[in-house]
Amino acid sequence: MTKRIILITGGQRSGKSRHAEELALSLTQRPVYVATAHVWDDEFRERVRKHQQRRGPQWTNIEEEKTLSRHDLTGRVAVIDCVTLWLTNFFFETQDVDQTLEMAKREFDLFTAHDATYIFVTNEIGWGGVSENAIQRRFTDLEGWMNQYIASQADEVVMMVSGIAVKIK
């Protein structure tokens, strides 16, 4: 297996995760799901439970909020869901766009250095206009720059629109 990076992007509830999971299952019978979310409250905990239930027992689940490179997925097919929540975990600590971007790029490069298929899920959060909140504006910049970085490294980029996959790259 050679290294392959796929980025799946789109708005909330556009079908990104479902498409990523279907793609992973089309490539292997035993995919890996890397969940980057920090569980903040009961409502989010329920979302996580529903996602896990939908995936089923053939998935290997890894919960990793920041240090993706801690997990060597050589030879595996992995869905990393999602870049937005992963960046949030760094940004929550630093509140600094440049520092977070540098750390995330370094971690991305370390994680994807092995031969595996990496399916990254991310959000397009900058399409809704400019926020009145300064922190949200900084995070939107961060997310956009990280999405561009991953897309530049990716072999394929797919945009999800209303549950329909549109190949970008």
| Catalytically active residues, by annotation | 51
**Alpha-carbon gap, residue 52 to 61, rounded angstroms:** 8
CB 98 within 8 A of CB 138: no
Amino acid letter for position 115: D
CB 87 within 8 A of CB 146: yes
Q: What angle do CA 20, 144, 24 make, to 5 degrees?
A: 10
**Alpha-carbon gap, residue 18 to 157, rounded angstroms:** 15
Which phi and psi angles does 77 have, rounded to 5°? -110, 125
Tokens (6 digits) for 4: 């392959």
Closest CA to 31 of 72, 75, 66, 63: 75
